[in-house]
Amino acid sequence: MKQFQLKIVTPEKVLYQDMVESVTVPTAEGEITVLPQHLPIISAINPGELKIKKGGEYDYFSVTRGVIEVDGKTVTLLVDAAESANFINEKRAEEAKERAKKLMEGVKQSEEGYADAVAQMERALSRLRIAKKRRGGRATFNQDS
């Protein structure tokens, strides 16, 4: 079974690094699935669901904006934030969605403030979608490491 090195990097740390069979990423051009020996690309990542296939099973992550770089042997995701479905608290994600909704209503006059509120809403919605998939995923690393 062919695999490639996947690395997920946030400003704080390398969040995930392992050999995987595929990764599906939400990009600015739409969702893409990277397989071993994929052609080199660089693309913007949109907030949403990241799906990693390893050992025939899937892990799900919520990711924020960032960049994906594929060089044929390694896939690197540089994202503002990423969170495994196994560590998402659905109640807190719902509360974050409500806060973002109120913030969006309060900053409609400020383009920058509204863009920040929309980004917060996108992240909260992504986290909620991923949390619902938690039962099908599996933990492959320690979120605090």
Residue 130: DSSP 8-state: H
pLDDT digits (tens, 9 = 90+) for 51-99: 999 999 998 898 988 999 999 889 999 998 888 866 655 666 666 667 6
- For the purposes of burial, counting CB atoms within 10 Å of the CB of 48, is it exposed (0-12), middle (13-18) or buried (19 or more)? buried
Q: Are residues 143 and 62 in contact, defined by beta-carbon separation less than 8 angstroms?
A: no
Spatial distance between the Cα atoms of 52 and 115, rounded to a whole number of angstroms: 29
The pTM (predicted TM-score) of the whole model is: 0.67
- Mean pLDDT, residues 27-51 taken together: 92
Share of the chain above pLDDT 70, in %: 61
HEC sequence for 6-74: EEEECCCCEEEEEEECEEEEEECCEEEEECCCCCCEEEEECCEEEEEEECCEEEEEEECCEEEEECCCE
Domains of the chain: 1-145 (2.60.15.10)
User: Which band of pLDDT confidence, cut at 50, 70 and 90, is reported for residue 105?
Assistant: low
- Mean pLDDT, residues 15-32 taken together: 94
